[in-house]
Amino acid sequence: MSGFIDLSAALRARMQAFRQRNDPPPWSPLSTPVSESTLALLCSNAYMTEAGHRVGPGEHECRFRTIPTEAHRSEPAASHAGGPDLARMEDERLLPVLDRARLLVQSGRAGRLSPRLLSLSGAVMAPSRAIEETRRLAASQLADDQVDVVLLVPT
């Protein structure tokens, strides 16, 4: 994928119309030093074929996928709406990030890694839906995993 300019004009216009501005944005201070915190990873993914067609969970949809950080590989057929091939591609892109996060924990830079990694794929065409899903995750998975900080990494 080369960039935003490769998307259709109609799609770019819709995405720009949805751009939200918070003045100032919500902000939460650290309550625990990072070296003692549970760190959660949230990775974004986007795929384009050589012909320039976007592939993913559904046209103009964004989806969250949960991947156990202890497993070397997830179960792609069961966990990805785009199918097993796309899931394998996504997992391979996530592995370097997961590997570096483990190094951060091993070196003491971060306290511990959350048992579940979040992968976000697709285009956020319906912000309200993405917001609602984020709220659900914050209240459930992230709370259950006792996450203290979230690191968002593009892949």
Partner 1 sequence: MSLVATELERHGLPTVAIRFKRKAAETLPPRALLAQFRHGFPDDPPNDPGRLLSMMEAALSLLEDADNGPALRAFEPADSSA
Contact assessment for residue 131 and residue 18, using Cβ atoms and an 8 Å cutoff:
no
What's the closest the beta carbon of residue 1 comes to partner 1, in angstroms? 5
**Closest by alpha carbon to 64, among 151, 122, 148?**
122
Candidate segments 38-46, 50-58, 70-78, 81-89, binder of partner 1 by CB under 8 A: 38-46
Per-residue tokens: 111: 């306290």
**How many residues interact with partner 1 (rule CB under 8 A)?**
49
What's the closest the beta carbon of residue 41 comes to partner 1, in angstroms? 9
**Would you call 104 helix, strand, or coil by DSSP?**
helix
Q: How many angstroms separate the Cα of 95 from the Cα of each of 50, 79, 99?
A: 23, 16, 6
Contact assessment for residue 39 and residue 102, using Cβ atoms and an 8 Å cutoff:
no
129 near partner 1 (CB under 8 A): no
For residues 72 and 78, which CB has a smaller minimum distance to partner 1 in the complex?
72
Candidate segments 51-59, 71-79, 81-89, 92-100, binder of partner 1 by CB under 8 A: 92-100
Q: Are strands 38-45 and 112-113 parallel, antiparallel or unpaired?
A: parallel
- Binding interface with partner 1 (CB under 8 A): 1-4, 19-22, 24-31, 33-34, 42, 44, 46, 93, 96-97, 100-101, 103-104, 109-110, 120, 124, 127, 130-131, 134-135, 138-139, 142, 147-155
